[in-house]
Chain A
Amino acid sequence: MDYSKEELDKLRKLSYELKIDVIKMLDKADSGHIGGAFSIADIVTCLYFKVANLDPTNPDWDERDYILLSNGHVCPILYAALARKGFFPKEELNNLRKIDSLLQGHPKLGIPGVENTSGLLGQGLSQGVGMALGLTMDSKPNKVYVITSDGEHQEGQTWEAIMSANKWSLNNLVVIVDRNHVQIDGNTEDIMPLGNLKEKYESFGWIALDINGHDYNEILQIFDFVKNIDQPVAIIAHTIAGEDISFMERLYKYHDWKDDPVEVEKALKELQAELDKFN
């Protein structure tokens, strides 16, 4: 089904608010990863505010869906979403990456709403397979969504996990690949070519789908589709690193960001202008 403009706009507006939170967080933290945080922002918004079954007042709720962030370095967008969802007070965002604070530079179990400790790429999908297996053993209906980067598909373990999800036909497991084509030191196809990820997943027995990772209607429809399938599903989300910030888009040098007051101001201005369009 098509979603109403009103519903889609509500989510779009929210994503700009989350992105503004991220810029402010990184400004206070003096550093952090921004390119991937912005390329996955629309999908994170859809997952946390529309798709997944979550209860922020009870993060360990048995009936919840599990959302794992395998490429943990893009956590500013995760933290912004969790705070706005109500998993912890929004003030915590001011202390990202600081000593004695809740929000670690990479996600860690114990932060309300965080489902996996990450920071070493390539492990999240295996952990998701474990959770999906546990749920399957107990005949539970919960879904497991694993967000991954395209770059971490250079880790061999990712392919071990892909192989194993197919072995057990895990129909409760969905992987989202943030196909933004950049990694720390350059473009993925220059660093170590990943090629056609859809075909690769398919050859491992998965259902794989290419989508525009910034098209809300498409994102929501895909998540509806994956609710009733009998195989693991890979959503290859074609995205733009640093999306919505004119001077950052598609540039690998904004994979991580040493904040600069001029850039902060410019970025906030651009995001505010987008947000104002909804008023």
Chain B
Amino acid sequence: MEYLLENYKNESELEKMATREAFGVAIVSVANENDDVVVLNADLPGSLKLNDFMEVFPERYLQIGVAEQNMASIAIGLSHYGKIPFITSFAAFSPGLNIAQIRIGSIKNQNFKVVSSHYGFHVGPDGASAQMESDIAMMKAIPNMVIVNPADYNQTKTMTHLISRAKGPIYMKLTREKFPVFLKEDAHTEIGKVQKLLSGDKLTVIATGSMVYETLQAVLEVDKDGGNVELLNLHTIKPLDKEGILESVRKTGKLLIVEEHNIWGGAGESISRIVAENHPVFTKIVGIDDTFGESGSHRKLWEKYKIDRVAIASQIREII
């Protein structure tokens, strides 16, 4: 197992952590490594787990208040001066409220990072307005933008380091809810490359972010003996790993994509385009089917809107 922890199948044994907690830890070590890193926040430091950063680097923490547009443009100014700013909020507010400012900073590939938590149904009880089903669509259409969506706590720590070293605008998505830590802490992660978690020859399943472990459980349920389903972890939504994806679908001839995002404008559409242009195969996307959410726990919402492991397993069964 190159990437998976030994006991990845036993959900009850695995530690449960939110990826925003990993960001809170990793951003302190990133800032220790690089004096230019600064963090901006729009009145939600607790939600982004920035308490440690605020304590260790008070002079490099900028509380902007409830002003996400100002936050993004200030970051772009800081970046032009030579700092490496991370702007942090909920996905509904950033990029939800400051996409135009982010776009301006991306025109000349300025070096700033947009780190957003509470995507998809992750702010469950707060309801539709604070949830975020459209952020990938907004961000992937901006030229030069890189989008990463790490699959668990360990990968988020690694990814925080990687994006701080990579130049240019990068969007990183974080989860509010705790879920299993199933990837090895020292697993090799490279921006723009898929990770093959399970090998199989009848169906390629590509999952991203919060859906990776959920999909893994669905695959284990359906493909009990293994070998039928190939599971790829799409931790980078843009740029897409064209070769990695095509290599798998050439072998399996069928594709299922799973994401916690509107199927209109999500990662699935972009993957489908690459597959259609290069090696057309049967393709299906499991995602939020062009609807807003509502109040409820994220698990209940996953179930109701058919992106939970039961819904994923039933799709896999149907395709195989």
Interface residues of A (CB under 8 A from B): 66, 108-110, 115-120, 123-124, 126-135, 137, 156-157, 160-161, 163-164, 167
Contact = CB atoms under 8 A, between A and B. Distances in A.
* Interface of chain B, main secondary structure: helix
Given A117-B108, A134-B83, A123 B73 contact: yes
A129 B60 CA distance: 15
Given A157-B70, A160-B69, A126 B110 contact: no
A68 to B, nearest CB: 8
B101 interface: yes
A137 B77 contact: no
Contacts of A126: 69-70, 72-74, 76-77, 101
B41 to A, nearest CB: 13
A227 B151 CA distance: 51
B70 A161 contact: yes
State which size class the interface on B falls in: 20 to 34
B91 interface: no
B78 A131 contact: yes
Contact of B80 (A109, A156, A157, A161): A109
Nearest to A158: B70
A63 to B, nearest CB: 13
Contacts of B104: 117-120, 123
Interface of B: 38, 59-60, 62, 64-65, 67, 69-70, 72-83, 85, 100-101, 104-105, 107-108, 110
A63 B212 CA distance: 49
Nearest to B38: A137
Given A117-B108, A126-B70, 6 more contacts: A126-B77, A131-B80, A156-B69, A157-B67, A163-B67, A164-B74
A197 B196 CA distance: 59
Given A127-B76, A157-B73, A160-B69, A109 B108 contact: yes
A123 B59 CA distance: 24
- Give the interface centre of B76, B77, B79, B80 by most chain A CB atoms within 10 Å: B77
A137 B59 contact: yes
B60 A127 contact: no
Nearest to B104: A117
Contact of A164 (B38, B59, B64, B72): B64
B282 to A, nearest CB: 43
Given A117-B108, A120-B104, A163-B65, A134 B81 contact: yes
Contacts of A167: 65
Given A133-B62, A137-B59, A164-B64, A127 B74 contact: yes
A71 B150 CA distance: 39
B166 to A, nearest CB: 19
A147 to B, nearest CB: 15
A131 B81 CA distance: 6
Given A108-B108, A137-B59, A130 B76 contact: yes
Given A109-B110, A164-B64, A134 B78 contact: yes
A123 B99 CA distance: 12
6 contacts: A66-B81, A120-B100, A126-B73, A135-B81, A161-B73, A163-B65
- Give the interface centre of A119, A124, A157 by most chain B CB atoms within 10 Å: A157
A132 to B, nearest CB: 8
B77 A110 contact: no
A143 to B, nearest CB: 13
Contacts of B108: 108-110, 117
Contacts of B67: 157, 160, 163-164
Contacts of A132: 77
A128 B107 contact: no
A126 B73 CA distance: 5
A62 to B, nearest CB: 9
B76 A157 contact: no
- Give the interface centre of A108, A133, A167 by most chain B CB atoms within 10 Å: A133
B75 A130 contact: yes
Nearest to B106: A117
The 9 closest A-B pairs by CB, nearest first: A130-B77, A126-B73, A134-B81, A160-B70, A127-B77, A109-B108, A130-B74, A160-B67, A130-B78
Contacts of A135: 81
Contacts of B100: 120, 123
- Give the interface centre of A117, A119, A130 by most chain B CB atoms within 10 Å: A130
